[in-house]
Amino acid sequence: MSIRVQIPTPLRRFTADASEVEVTGETVGAVMQDLVRRHPALESHLFAGDGKLRSFVNLFLNDEDVRFLEQDKTSLSAGDVLAIIPAIAGGSPGISGNGSAPELTQDEIRRYSRHLIMPEVGVAGQQRLKASKVLMIGAGGLGSPLGLYLAAAGIGRLGMVDFDVVDESNLHRQVLFGQSDVGRPKIEAAVDRLRQINPLIELEPYETRLTSENALELFEPYDLIVDGTDNFPTRYLVNDACVLTGKPNVYGSIFRFEGQVSVFWGAQGPCYRCLFPEPPPPGLVPSCAEGGVLGVLPGIIGALQANEVIKLILGKGDSLVGRLVLFDALRMQFRELKLRKDPECPICSEHPTQRDLIDYEQFCGVGPTAQEEIPEGLNVDVQTLKDWLDAGRRVTVLDVRNPEEFAIGRIAGSTLIPLHELPQRFREVDTGDLLVVHCHHGPRSTQATLFLRDQGVEQVWNLAGGIHAWSLQVDPSVPRY
């Protein structure tokens, strides 16, 4: 029986960029085995060493989670569609602020008049918005549209947590900022911009990194939390802190042309850990810095998150609690998947095994005790590489970035083998000479260097700082991105 399997963007490089493939099988397990038989490179990304599906990968059959059907024994019928959903980083009860509803001033009545004449909002609804307190985690791609629309809507107190600075590469998608903001702290620039949008609301900036030490204290005064993060440790931290403080978590994530939106609320439905109990290993899912993102995508996903925030506060419509919306910008297609609460969830089940926040960098495999690092002596700086090349030494420079990055700029004479292709192609590299591996700024080349060492290649070094450092310190004609 022929079945269509939908392939998410991060895994399409292993299916020749196909977003959907035809495979055969009578059950979910048989179909998945046929899939990896046809595309062997998928196997290690989908299955653990014991043959079980990895915990950060979910399968949905016609929008139903197979974990709540018969798992790999689930029978299939002609026309069924099986979707692979990996981690990428009823009516609404309403969220109300503490105390009585504040009166609207004359200025607020004029500003929000188009809200006030809607029966779904009205004066009472706008008062709820004015009384509400919303905390945004991140002021970047998702935080930009979130901040703009929540401020414009009249959220009474809008908190923002971010510790980054504005970079020129942010400007194609982070619409809170302009050219004059490059180099400024994002929080500082965001406050200035949002005050121009709406001077009538209270803005609460927190120029700090969200950690297990400060999350519960930061979350406590707010009614709900909006997750605009771009990494797995912070995403799991936000989820767990929301569960422990009883706050709804309005979630969004983006990658290339695809986005996800949901509301995770452990008190009323599933949390993020119910969907993805564990994160993927470091490096398996590319970040937006490595894989890119369509500039308009965070605007779409962030606006959907803002919509959910406003609905929750007003108590109107059907919230996304228990539902995950997937958006594909290339197909201009929305899909909705049903989510269920995991009765064994370690954080939000009736009998949780975790009652406090943990070390999320270690949990996600990126902490100092969990991340494999380059041993001392295996790094080489960009000036040393230049000296070797100028002296005429036979040096092979191996670039493990993606072809799209290679097209932007490269070190002259370098050889391109993307990191995900290296296990199959490393024998193509001339390893008899000095071998220097680089990526954009270091993480991918670190993995490649350690891999090559494990294969017995001795004369191999990691280029500290990658091509970014090369452009800054050696050859400014190489574009920075």
DSSP 234-250: HHHHHHHHHHHHT--EE
- 2-86 with 106-363: one CATH topology? no
Confirm whether 274 is a catalytic residue.
Answer: no
Which one, of 173, 121, 123, 176, lies nearest residue 151 by Cα?
176
CATH class of the domain at 106-363: alpha beta
Give the domain ranges of the chain.
2-86, 106-363, 379-473
Cα–Cα distance for residue pair 410/361, rounded to 1 Å: 32
Name the catalytic one among 288, 345, 348, 364: 288
Tens of pLDDT along the chain (481 residues)? 888 999 988 788 889 888 899 999 999 999 999 999 999 989 988 998 788 898 889 999 998 899 989 998 999 998 899 999 988 754 444 565 555 689 999 999 999 999 999 999 999 999 999 999 999 999 999 999 999 999 999 999 999 999 999 999 999 999 999 999 999 999 999 999 999 999 999 999 999 999 999 999 999 999 999 999 988 999 999 999 999 999 999 999 998 999 999 999 999 999 999 999 988 876 566 666 667 789 999 999 999 999 999 999 999 999 999 999 999 999 999 999 999 999 999 999 999 999 999 998 888 876 543 344 566 678 999 999 999 999 999 999 999 999 999 999 999 999 999 998 999 999 998 877 899 999 998 889 998 999 999 999 988 999 999 999 999 999 999 999 8
Question: Residue 207: its pLDDT value, please?
Answer: 97
Against a cut of 0.75, is the pTM above it? yes
Question: Residue 433: its pLDDT value, please?
Answer: 80
Name the catalytic one among 271, 274, 345, 439: 439
C-alpha separations of 116 from 106, 303, 415 in Å? 12, 21, 62
Cα–Cα distance for residue pair 166/188, rounded to 1 Å: 10
Confirm whether 288 is a catalytic residue.
Answer: yes
CATH number attached to the domain at 2-86: 3.10.20.30
Determine the topology of domain 379-473 in CATH: Oxidized Rhodanese; domain 1 (3.40.250)
